[in-house]
């Protein structure tokens, strides 16, 4: 995927300690912790120049690795993986701003992407990296522990930058569904329909998010030429790897279709491709079709 040298989004909140990690998985350079911020404020209150402290490196030792913090900085992530996520988010903003304006005659409310490590607080409760990337409809933020992408590569054999971009675009897809009413509809059915029917609604919701990820890929490529040889295969490989049937087979050796909540590998690939090939949001009504 071509992403380097492009502007990142201003909607990234970096809650990771230690300034994040590099793509290879080695720890990045230490960032500015709460302690560092407090020291700078004190120095400024005393009329001093905090840059002397920063340059001298006196602050960096305050920060501990993997510290859970809710400090918000407006700085762009300084590690490669964080910058990558920021550029992909910007790409999704460009695509959905235009589609909302031109096809839906409304403004696109841009979601925030929260980068965290380990645990973080969300309006949907405690967010944990073990859950994988997720979207919280209550605060309309996307939460990702970027080490998930290493897991995608190591555990599911679905590496590559475009696979990671597909995952981010899928979570943005859930944000689109929140705006267009699909996720509220599925939630409203909870308790009114059987568990099997609820799971089927969940599958339809997930496949539509895959479709929207495909729509993103369609326009990002058309406008910015981001797709390189092999990229679509990377996304399809990721969609294939995290399908319910694959995950269940890996976990228990057999599949239980009624318990699927994300769709099969074939379905996930199909809907991503449909979005990618058409770029037409009207083709993505996974709730009406009998042919998932
Ligand atoms: Zn999803």
Output the pLDDT for position 114: 97
Question: Stretch 5-25: mean pLDDT, rounded?
Answer: 75
Question: What band does 258 get if pLDDT is binned at 50, 70 and 90?
Answer: confident
Higher pLDDT, 132 or 19: 132
How far is the centre of ligand 1, averaged over its atoms, from the C-alpha of 203 (Å)? 9
Output the pLDDT for position 261: 83
How far is the centre of ligand 1, averaged over its atoms, from the C-alpha of 206 (Å)? 5
Question: Stretch 10-33: mean pLDDT, rounded?
Answer: 60
Please determine, for residue 55, whether its predicted confidence score (pLDDT) is greater than 90.
Answer: no
Question: What band does 155 get if pLDDT is binned at 50, 70 and 90?
Answer: confident
Please determine, for residue 260, whether its predicted confidence score (pLDDT) is greater than 60.
Answer: yes
How far is the centre of ligand 1, averaged over its atoms, from the C-alpha of 167 (Å)? 9
What is the model's pTM? Answer: 0.79
Question: Stretch 209-219: mean pLDDT, rounded?
Answer: 97
Output the pLDDT for position 131: 78
Q: What percent of the chain has pLDDT over 90?
A: 58
How far is the centre of ligand 1, averaged over its atoms, from the C-alpha of 135 (Å)? 8
Please determine, for residue 107, whether its predicted confidence score (pLDDT) is greater than 90.
Answer: yes
Output the pLDDT for position 242: 78
Output the pLDDT for position 244: 73
Please determine, for residue 48, whether its predicted confidence score (pLDDT) is greater than 70.
Answer: no
Please determine, for residue 50, whether its predicted confidence score (pLDDT) is greater than 60.
Answer: no
Q: Find the range with the poorest average confidence among 55-69, 214-228, 268-282.
A: 55-69
Output the pLDDT for position 46: 53
How far is the centre of ligand 1, averaged over its atoms, from the C-alpha of 171 (Å)? 6
How far is the centre of ligand 1, averaged over its atoms, from the C-alpha of 202 (Å)? 9
Question: What band does 45 get if pLDDT is binned at 50, 70 and 90?
Answer: low
Please determine, for residue 201, whether its predicted confidence score (pLDDT) is greater than 60.
Answer: yes
Please determine, for residue 189, whether its predicted confidence score (pLDDT) is greater than 90.
Answer: yes
How far is the centre of ligand 1, averaged over its atoms, from the C-alpha of 199 (Å)? 13
Please determine, for residue 253, whether its predicted confidence score (pLDDT) is greater than 90.
Answer: no
How far is the centre of ligand 1, averaged over its atoms, from the C-alpha of 174 (Å)? 7
How far is the centre of ligand 1, averaged over its atoms, from the C-alpha of 276 (Å)? 17
How far is the centre of ligand 1, averaged over its atoms, from the C-alpha of 212 (Å)? 11
How far is the centre of ligand 1, averaged over its atoms, from the C-alpha of 207 (Å)? 8
Question: Stretch 122-144: mean pLDDT, rounded?
Answer: 90
Q: Find the range with the poorest average confidence among 49-63, 149-163, 186-200.
A: 49-63
How far is the centre of ligand 1, averaged over its atoms, from the C-alpha of 45 (Å)? 47
How far is the centre of ligand 1, averaged over its atoms, from the C-alpha of 210 (Å)? 8
SS (H, E, C) the chain: CCCCCCCCCCCEEECCHHHCECCCCCECCCCCCHHHHHHHHHHHHCCCCHHHHHHHCCCHHHCCCCCCCCCCCCCCCCCHHHHHHHHHHHHHHHHHHHHHHHHCCCCCCCCEEEECCCEEEECCEEEEHHHCCEEECCCCEEEECCCHHHHHHHCCCCCCHHHHHHHHHHHHHHHHHHHHCHHHHHHHCCCCCCHHHHHHHHHHHHHHHHHHHHHHHHHHHHHHCCCCCCHHHHHHHHHHHCCHHHHHHHHHCCCCHHHCCCCCHHHHHHHHHHHHHHCCHHHHCCCCCCCC
Give residues whose Cβ lies within 5 Å of ion ligand 1: 206, 209
């Amino acid at each position: 995927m071509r992403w380097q040298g492009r502007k990142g989004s201003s909607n990234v909140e970096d809650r990771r300690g230690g300034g994040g990690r590099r793509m290879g998985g080695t720890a990045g350079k230490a960032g500015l912790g709460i302690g560092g911020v407090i020291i700078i404020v004190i120095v400024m209150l005393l009329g001093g120049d905090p840059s002397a402290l920063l340059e001298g490196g006196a602050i960096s030792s305050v920060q501990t690795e993997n510290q859970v913090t809710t400090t918000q900085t407006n700085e762009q992530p300084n590690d490669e993986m964080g910058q990558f996520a920021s550029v992909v988010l910007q790409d999704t903003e460009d695509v959905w701003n235009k589609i909302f304006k031109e096809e839906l005659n409304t403004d696109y409310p841009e979601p925030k992407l929260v980068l965290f490590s380990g645990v973080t607080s969300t309006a949907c409760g405690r967010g944990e990296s073990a859950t994988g990337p997720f979207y919280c409809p209550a605060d309309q933020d996307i939460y990702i522990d970027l080490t998930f992408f290493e897991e995608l590569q190591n555990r599911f054999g679905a590496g590559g930058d475009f696979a990671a971009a597909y995952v981010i675009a899928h979570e943005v897809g859930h944000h689109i569904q929140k705006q267009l009413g699909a996720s509220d509809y599925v939630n409203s059915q909870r308790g009114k329909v059987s568990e099997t029917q609820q799971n089927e609604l969940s599958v339809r919701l997930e496949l539509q998010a895959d479709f929207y990820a495909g729509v993103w890929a369609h326009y990002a490529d058309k406008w910015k030429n981001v797709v390189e040889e092999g990229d679509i295969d990377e996304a399809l490989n990721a969609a294939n790897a995290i399908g319910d049937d694959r995950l269940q087979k890996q976990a228990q050796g057999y599949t239980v279709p009624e318990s699927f909540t994300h769709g099969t590998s074939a379905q996930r690939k199909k809907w991503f491709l449909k979005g990618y090939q058409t770029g037409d949001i009207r083709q993505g009504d996974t709730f009406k079709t009998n042919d998932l």
